[in-house]
Amino acid sequence: MTDDSLETAIRLSDPLTPMAIRVAASLGVFEAVAAGNRDAASVAAATGTDTAVVGDLLTHLAGVGALDHDDAGFAVNDVTAHFLDDGLLKVHLGLDTASGLIAHGWWGLADTVRSGGPGFDVVAGRSFWDEVNATREMSASFDDYIAHGVQFWAPDLIAYAAASPARSWADVGGGNGTLLAQLLEADPQRTGVVVELPRSAEAATAFLDANGVGDRGVGLAGDFLTEVPAGYDAYLLAQVLHDWPDDDAVTILHNCAAAAGTGGHVLVVERLAESGQAGMSLMMANLFGATERRVDDYLALADRAGLALTAQAPAADGEMGILDFVVAH
Ligand SMILES: C[S@@+](CC[C@H](N)C(=O)[O-])C[C@H]1O[C@@H](n2cnc3c(N)ncnc32)[C@H](O)[C@@H]1O
């Protein structure tokens, strides 16, 4: 064993650095340095923090390459630029965001690995969805977190939908309507709904309005484990099933199939574990006692819900897939 391997072992196992980065992002430390505050005292003044401790924080961040440090003091570098990026900063690094909630939940991972159940619930004392929906701010933060990821696969789904005769779309668990807005913008003949928990349904109605498609799309509050509204040509389940263990996933598929009726379509968009998704799968296990799945796993769940695959297409450069099911019986 070399000194290098010991250093690597310590670096890999010490949670200080990820926490230091999230704290610096949350307290505006990176912005303060970017604005030209080059020493601890001026960063502390700019951020309302303790000079001695923020000095140690800056020194640690410089030591791991998250900042530069020279005779003139601290400065931002190419790595810091990512922490200053609005998307990453707002969506992934803030401690008081949904991403911070997810990070907090990792303390339950040992429970998850032991039992397969959601360690998040052990840490938080309630489910992830209850925690996310406890306040309007946290619900909006989760909607933002999710909407940020939509850009990676939405163009493939829009392209796939262009060849579909479906006019009316139900985006079931469709967050704040980011995808539905794009679907409606792409074809003025389309109408649609987002079926969501109450806070997100409200956010979706507002988002669709703000994007000029409020006359053709609306958010509907509902619980997809209980019932999905009938009357739409196509039902979309994007990154929904991976949040649920098998039996719940079958219930959701079954409710969509019942709403779609024989011959109707249910489209599933998911990461497909063939492309290697162990990290995301661990997150699904920790948050929900669920998992990423392979195509065959989705086919088996769909079969239990009376759905048969009619077509399949890649999304997000092959990292994800669109599985188009028809209601067989
Ligand atoms: C991982 S997000 C996927 C959002 C969106 N479809 C996407 O791919 O970007 C799962 C969504 O399911 C919603 N959800 C969770 N439980 C629900 C329930 N019982 N009924 C309806 N929606 C629910 C959440 O609010 C969340 O927006």
pLDDT tens sequence across 151-208: 999 999 999 999 999 999 999 999 999 999 999 999 999 999 999 999 999 999 999 9
What separation in Å is there between the alpha carbon of 29 and the centre of ligand 1? 33
Q: What is the 3 state secondary structure string of 242-287?
A: HHCCHHHHHHHHHHHHHHHCCCCEEEEEEEEHHHCCHHHHHHHHHH
pLDDT at 285 exceeding the cut of 70: yes
86-136 pLDDT per residue, tens: 877 778 899 999 999 999 999 999 999 999 999 999 999 999 999 999 999
pLDDT at 326 exceeding the cut of 80: yes
d(CA 133, CA 320): 27
223: Cβ below 6 Å to ligand 1?
yes
Residues in the chain: 329
Those residues with Cβ within 8 angstroms of residue 231's Cβ, 6 or more apart along the chain or in another chain: 168, 259
Going from N- to C-terminal start, the domains of the chain cover 3-92, 98-139, 146-327
> Which two structure tokens, joined as six digits, stand for 315?
């999304």
Average pLDDT over residues 197-222: 98
Instruction: Report CA-CA distances (Å) from 168 to 88, 163, 180, 240.
Output: 34, 14, 11, 20
pLDDT class for 294, splitting at 50, 70, 90?
Answer: very high
pLDDT at 276 exceeding the cut of 80: no
CB-neighbour burial class of residue 206 (10 A; exposed 0-12, middle 13-18, buried 19+): middle
pLDDT class for 35, splitting at 50, 70, 90?
Answer: very high
Which residue carries 């209601």 as its tokens? Answer: 327
Are the C-beta atoms of residues 213 and 219 closer than 8 Å to each other?
no
Q: Do domains 3-92 and 146-327 have the same CATH topology?
A: no
Instruction: Report CA-CA distances (Å) from 144 to 28, 102, 139, 152, 222.
Output: 20, 14, 9, 14, 20
Angle at 16 between CA 50 and CA 49, to 5 degrees: 10
- Choose the residue to mutate in 139, 196, 287, 323 for probing ligand 1, maximizing ligand atoms within 8 Å of C-beta: 196
Q: What is the mean pLDDT of the chain?
A: 96
Which atom of ligand 1 lies at the shortest distance from residue 199's CA?
Answer: 25
Which atom of ligand 1 lies at the shortest distance from residue 132's CA?
Answer: 25
- The percent of residues in the chain predicted with pLDDT above 70, rounded, is 99
Catalytic residue among 60, 148, 242, 265: 242
196: Cβ below 6 Å to ligand 1?
yes
pLDDT class for 1, splitting at 50, 70, 90?
Answer: low
Pick the CATH number of 146-327 from 3.30.70.1560, 3.60.150.10, 3.40.50.720, 3.40.50.150: 3.40.50.150
Which CATH class, in words, describes the domain spanning 3-92?
A: mainly alpha
Angle at 202 between CA 265 and CA 258, to 5 degrees: 25
pLDDT at residue 130 in the model? 98
d(CA 271, CA 319): 6
Q: Among 193, 260, 190, 189, which Cα is nearest to 221's?
A: 193
39-75 pLDDT per residue, tens: 999 999 999 999 999 999 999 999 999 999 999 999 9
d(CA 327, CA 329): 6
pLDDT at residue 329 in the model? 75
> Which two structure tokens, joined as six digits, stand for 33?
């340095």
pLDDT at 27 exceeding the cut of 90: yes
pLDDT at 254 exceeding the cut of 70: yes
Helix/strand/coil percentages in the chain, nearest 5? 55, 15, 30
> How much is the pTM?
0.94
Q: Among 262, 267, 260, which Cα is nearest to 230's?
A: 260
What separation in Å is there between the alpha carbon of 45 and the centre of ligand 1? 41
pLDDT at residue 91 in the model? 82
d(CA 257, CA 305): 7
Q: Is 92 a catalytic residue?
A: no
pLDDT at residue 83 in the model? 93
